[in-house]
Amino acid sequence: ERKQVIRTEGGGGGGGAECEKDPLRVQEFLGYKSTEDPLFKADKLMVRAAPLVDPDDFEAYLDTVEKYREKADQGAMMAYTSSWGEANPNGGKEVMDDYLERTRLEVVNTEALLRKVLGYLGLEVISPSK
């Protein structure tokens, strides 16, 4: 028996509350689309905040900041790549969806690292976004 898949255009769940799958929206949330984005160059601010970290955690903090930067870069790159999925040879909606899923995983990892940075700085860690 084949697995039944209900396909929705634009990624929404129906009921008029559909959202459009827009890979470049990921770049906006990661601070890679505009200088007005809240996380624009956040890694540079994190490095400048390093003196606020407990000296015993200093190296671990800087390592976490570097991992954050790498994951954010990867997420932004994957989002950009997915935006071209349908235009590439052998591309299509499935290819775009695959890249978007990879992008989602990068963003989840990026969020976890951001929370860790906030913890090192003694800042409030807010609830995960849904």
- The domain ranges of the chain are 22-121
Q: How confident is the model at residue 130 (pLDDT cuts 50, 70, 90)?
A: low
Q: How many CB atoms within 10 Å of residue 47?
A: 13
Interval 6-50: pLDDT, tens: 444 444 444 444 456 777 777 777 888 778 877 888 999 999 999
CB 48 within 8 A of CB 100: no
> Angle CA(106)–CA(41)–CA(50) in degrees, nearest 5?
95
- Whose tokens are 């963003």? That residue is 107
